[in-house]
Structure 1
């Protein structure tokens, strides 16, 4: 620790200092799971062993989401970024409609806008820190409607509620899946990466596909549309149903993901995870509202994320200095999203993060503020 910064009393230091919004805290048991299954490292992903892990992940997620009949867990490589491109090839017939309210919710809209084989998308935008409503897409002529369950950059969330339309509903759940409530019947493709609520590494995308989404994949695949092999959703579906991926996956990532999903299901399932994130987020926002120097960035309490908390600081406080002091004391990754450019902290509250550590974190920030260590 640098002598440049004050030492936070040990009783105020969280048991684990990782509060990043992705990659996020990894539980020690997940790392042990890699060691316990070292025998399958370096073996074929098309044989028993690795396929058993993929099958366990798929079954565990089906249990976690209480998947409706006919829904399937599909997975492939590349993360959610790759899924946006794959969806533009394999799920959108001609036109999509999007709700955007921050950096990440706008990215899929940008992909659709640039795809020369698709019509101009319909985009409903809200300013960062506010949220649009799914009902704003009622009656759209698009064949896909899309938004993010949770906007990682701003700490705002939009519910998964099917608009009044026949379009497929695609939900980017990268930072929300596993920590926010969802009724899967309201979505047709609920897709995510495993480095946030699932406390694993990135590089994969996973999705719960409805029968309608699976049918759309088959429909578009039967046309003459060119689809790159890496982004071919029919290939992803066909391989997933065999408990494998088209390309070689990172087996350690799958092992960490599998252990986390088992831990989630053993601790109350999705309801239990939402209880944890609700406890953490309720404390954080109530703390921020109680101090004169702090305010939740998202003004609408119903739109404040349960898994990513953004807290603004008064002009006479330098939030960047607070983050530096925290980091010097082993409390990591509380900096705000770089492009938002606000005087704030951003706190990950994913299920693996103990709610007691969120309380220790706010006590550590109290120490910094009360001591006048972060004056602007």
Structure 2
């Protein structure tokens, strides 16, 4: 450990953008869990049931919205969406690596029309645009690779999709759906679930669990679309959302899940509800990211990568440095001292830090991280 860093090191040095920090209490929950021998028997089904009911309360889901859980992570859903939710023609808004991969899945699907893809340069935002003939609008709520946050809104015929209850209109299955990838922001930002039809995320970001599991909120209109397409199109069982829906209603997953991941997720949801729900978790993330942005705005060598404050992510903060700063050297020096995973996203190729600001991270640790960076800068800045 370096002497000049010893007194300012964070208590917990995990700042990765996923997998993210896991609270010690979550690990204790794994140790105490009375696991059974089958994921289709108690007590595993009880854990899944707790997750589904806890998420319904945490996100205050409208009546008629259902919580689906399945294996494979959000990347599996990119393919599942093309199989189960896009009728013929989709429109994607692409702001970076992850939203681009989601669009790529539809581009490769031979049973669909070539999707309309709206793109922008990394660090900036682009939104969907209501267009005749589009049956599915898709975008990322938070682009994890760049730290851009998109406003949440519905596209297409909003009236048919916002029923919010079990009495969805007969036309709902034919109305355009709005599908949102909330992988890195779900749990760290308050939003009205009624604005989207299918909102999905992974568990290794705000929820401090492991990867390999996906969670989705489906509106009545989305459920109708899933059920309709399942009757018309061959879908691999692993990607079949109708099967996932049927199993989720039974508080189980179709394939055997990682029980530890379920337990980590369940523990985090309970903690989030105990500290005050989404208002509290969103406030924690906002305090973390705001500390980074304010520091970068005042720094002579740095600047926030996302120029417009309105679109800066509350959960993934990205900061550019001038060319004279050796950010890779700083990253390595901090890693040697137990401060981890603030690397820029690999494909961006920028002189940048990307700092996770998820709810489980304490703002005090964020402040100490920034102090550590400042302490390292004289050693890694060319004159």
TM-score category, normalised to shorter length = over 0.9
Structure 1 residue 96 and structure 2 residue 102: aligned? Answer: no
Tell me the TM-score normalized by structure 1: 0.95
Match of 2:68 among 61, 71, 74: 74
Aligned to 1:163: 155
Cα separation, 2, equivalents of 1:84 and 1:7 = 47
How has the CA–CA distance of structure 1 residues 278 and 244 changed in structure 2, closer, same or farther, with 3 Å as cutoff? same
SS in 2 for 1:124: strand
Aligned residues: 365
* Equivalent position to 1:15, from 11, 15, 19: 11
Instruction: Give the alignment partner of residue 279 of structure 2, picking from 261, 266, 271.
Output: 271
Alpha-carbon displacement from aligned partner over 1:157-200 (angstroms, at most 9, x marks no partner)? 10211124341111111101101221100111110110010000
User: How does 1:254-265 map onto structure 2 within 5 Å?
Assistant: 254-265=262-273
Residue aligned with 1:55, SS = helix
Q: Distance in 1 between matches of 2:200 and 2:3?
A: 42
Of 17, 21, 44, which residue of structure 2 is paired with 1:25? 21
- Residue 216 (structure 2) pairs with residue 207 (structure 1): yes
Alpha-carbon distance in 2 for matches of 1:352, 1:159: 24
1:145 aligned residue (137, 159, 178): 137
Q: Is the 8 A contact 1:97 1:140 kept in 2?
A: no
Cα distance between partner residues in 2 of 1:82 and 1:208: 16
Q: Is the 8 A contact 2:247 2:253 kept in 1?
A: yes
Mapped partners of 1:44, 1:355: distance in 2: 40
How big is the shift at 1:138?
Answer: 1.7
More deviation, 139-148/258-267: 139-148
- Structure 2 counterpart of 1:297, from 302, 305, 308: 305
Residue matched to 1:229 = 237
Pick from 359, 373, 379: which aligns with 1:373? 379
1:35 to 31, 36, 45: 31
Is this contact kept in 2: 1:307–1:349, CA < 8 A?
yes
Q: Which residue of 1 aligns with 2:293?
A: 285
Classify 1:317/1:32 alpha carbon distance in 2 versus 1 (closer, same or farther; 3 Å). Answer: same
Aligned to 1:198: 207
SS of 1:185's equivalent? helix
Q: In structure 2, what is the equivalent of residue 320 of structure 1? A: 328
C-alpha spacing 1:241/1:8, structure 2 compared with 1 (3 Å): farther
Aligned 8 A contact 1:313 1:343 in 2 = yes
**Residue 48 of structure 2 contacts residue 262 of structure 2 at CA under 8 Å; is this kept in 1?**
yes
Q: Separation in 2 of the partners of 1:93 and 1:9?
A: 56
Do 2:316 and 2:354's aligned partners in 1 also have CA atoms closer than 8 Å?
yes
- Corresponding position: 1:238 with 2:234: no
Structure 2 residue runs without a partner (length 5+):
158-174
Distance 2:18 2:214 in 1: 14
Query: TM-score, normalised to structure 2's length?
Result: 0.93
Deviation at 1:325, TM superposition (A): 1.3
Preserved contact between residue 7 and residue 329 of structure 1 (Cα < 8 Å) = no
**Contact 1:8 1:329 survives alignment (8 Å):** no
Q: In the TM superposition, what is the alpha-carbon distance from 1:11 to its structure 2 partner?
A: 2.6
- C-alpha RMSD over aligned residues: 1.1
Question: Cα deviation per residue 1:43-81 (whole Å; 9 max; x = unaligned)?
Answer: 111112000000000001001110000001001100011
1:119 aligned residue: 113
Deviation at 1:140, TM superposition (A): 4.1
**Structure 1 partner of 2:183:** 174
- Which residue pairs with 1:187 in the alignment? 196
